[in-house]
Amino acid sequence: IKEKAMEEIKSLNNMEELEQARVKFLGKKGELTKVLRGMGKLSKEERPVIGQLANEVRQDIEKELNNTKENFRREIQKRKLEKERIDISIPGKDIVLGHRHPLVKTMEELENIFMNMGFSVVYGPEVETVENNFDELNSPENHPSRDLTDTFYINKNLLLRTHTSPVQIRVMKENKPPLRIVSAGRTFRFDDVDDTHSPMFHQLEGLVVDENITMANLKETINTFIKVLFGEDMHTRFRPHYFPFTEPSAEVDVSCFSCKGKGCDDCNGTGWSMELLGCGMVNPKVLQNCGIDPDKYSGFAFGLGIDRIAMVKYGIDDIRLLFENDMRFLEQF
């Protein structure tokens, strides 16, 4: 049996045949088992001798089967490795890495500047209630900006926010002073598209409410922000203005980006770059609308156009480029 088994095992070709051979020689109905079963017929003296022999044969066959199995396994592994071999000399595929959109980069930069000044960053929805966007901000019922031609209305009560100022209302209604937040995001106004106008644009809103907040705090905050963003040699000019939700209100001009205030063709010789942001002291009526005591607290707010800043920072002369997602444009940043 042993010789026959060894002979057969040598001629095995694969794992299946090996398993069949195992059953044939060692299985319950196998040849060796038959011998062991027949032991009952043997004499007392023969039994241990034959028994031992049969066990030895069993062990030998098992060993040979296992060795063969191991060889097969190695063979399979080798073939698999050869098949899956990677040719490391083939040139690689270029991995195209994406990057942040210049507008997003600008937004993050602005948020970071304010975070470094102790502001928290909050978010507000682009679909707003008429209440938050106009009413609570003390916007008069007949104000032209409420007109259908300026505002995208969704229905009587909902609209696409026309500025980020409704975030002020949300923050003041949900939190108690002291408050110090900025909020950047999309805003919408019905506008014809040209190189400086788009019906979708971006603003960053800022709001500070606490005891003893004054115009001096507002000016210092804006001045610091401008210098960190554009450089120490940039100055600001506050011009009186009107917003229903701030009183007094101002518009802020910044030194001309081309000549830094000396006067050049870009700024018609004035040295100023116009209307970078609107700001003012939070109107006491607005504080009251939000349940904040105007006798105890005061605050300032500002709103600035992010698209303008991105265009100045990255030397982009057409706002439409920011929204068209032309790869030839985006890949430059």
- Residues belonging to the binding site for Mg(2+) are 247
The answer to whether 256 and 267 have CB atoms below 8 angstroms apart is yes
Closer of 25 and 238 to ligand PHE (Cβ): 238
In whole angstroms, the minimum distance from the beta carbon of 145 to ligand PHE comes to 9
Cα separation, 254 vs 235, in Å, equals 6
Q: How far is CA 174 from CA 167, 177, 292, in A?
A: 11, 10, 11
Measured between alpha carbons, how far is residue 192 from residues 146, 200, 289 in Å?
A: 17, 11, 34
The reply to whether 103 sits near ligand PHE by the rule CB under 6 A is no
Q: Is 278 near ligand PHE (CB under 6 A)?
A: yes
**What is the nearest approach in angstroms of ligand PHE to the Cβ of residue 197?**
14
Give the one residue of 188, 243, 272, 297 binding ligand PHE; rule: CB under 6 A: 243
Query: Of 261 and 303, which has the nearer Cβ to ligand PHE?
Result: 303
Q: Does residue number 303 form part of the binding site for ligand PHE (CB under 6 A)?
A: yes
Residues sharing a CB contact under 8 Å with residue 284, sequence separation 6 or more, in sequence order:
247, 294, 298
- How would you list the strands of the sheet with 200-210, edge to edge? 120-121, 179-188, 200-210, 298-305, 272-282, 246-255, 236-243
Residue 199, preceding peptide bond in cis (omega within 30° of 0): no
**What would the two tokens of residue 226 be?**
């401008």
**Residues that contact ligand PHE, how many (by CB under 6 A):** 11
Q: Which of 30, 166, 280, 299 binds ligand PHE (CB under 6 A)?
A: 280
Report phi then psi at 232, rounded to 5: -60, -30
236 binds ligand PHE (CB under 6 A): no
Find the DSSP H helices in 84-182.
Answer: 102-116, 130-133, 166-174
Contact status: 198 vs ligand PHE (CB under 6 A): no
Token pair 């500025």 is found at 163
The nearer residue to ligand PHE, 25 or 302, going by C-beta atoms, is 302
Binder of ligand PHE out of 276, 279, 292, 322 (CB under 6 A): 279
Beta carbons of 31 and 1 less than 8 angstroms apart: yes
In single-letter form, the type of residue at position 277 comes to L
DSSP character for 95?
A: P
Q: 261 or 280, CB closer to ligand PHE?
A: 280
Min dist CB 296 to ligand PHE, Å, is 21
Is 167 a binding residue for ligand PHE by CB under 6 A? The answer is no
Give whichever of 57 and 222 is closer to ligand PHE, judged by the CB atom: 222
Residue 252 token pair = 């802020």
Tokens at 215, concatenated: 């115009």
Give the range of 225-233, 242-250, 290-298, 311-319 binding ligand PHE by CB under 6 A: 242-250
Q: How far is the CB of 88 from ligand PHE (least distance, A)?
A: 58
**Sole window of 86-94, 228-236, 268-276, 277-285 interacting with ligand PHE (rule: CB under 6 A):** 277-285
Determine, following the binding rule CB under 6 A, whether residue 301 of this chain makes contact with ligand PHE.
Answer: yes
Minimal distance, residue 280 CB to ligand PHE, in Å: 5
Looking at beta carbons only, is 243 or 257 nearer to ligand PHE?
Answer: 243
Give which of 149, 170, 110 is closest to 303, Cα–Cα.
110
* Binding interface with ligand PHE (CB under 6 A): 163, 165, 243, 246, 249, 278-280, 301-303
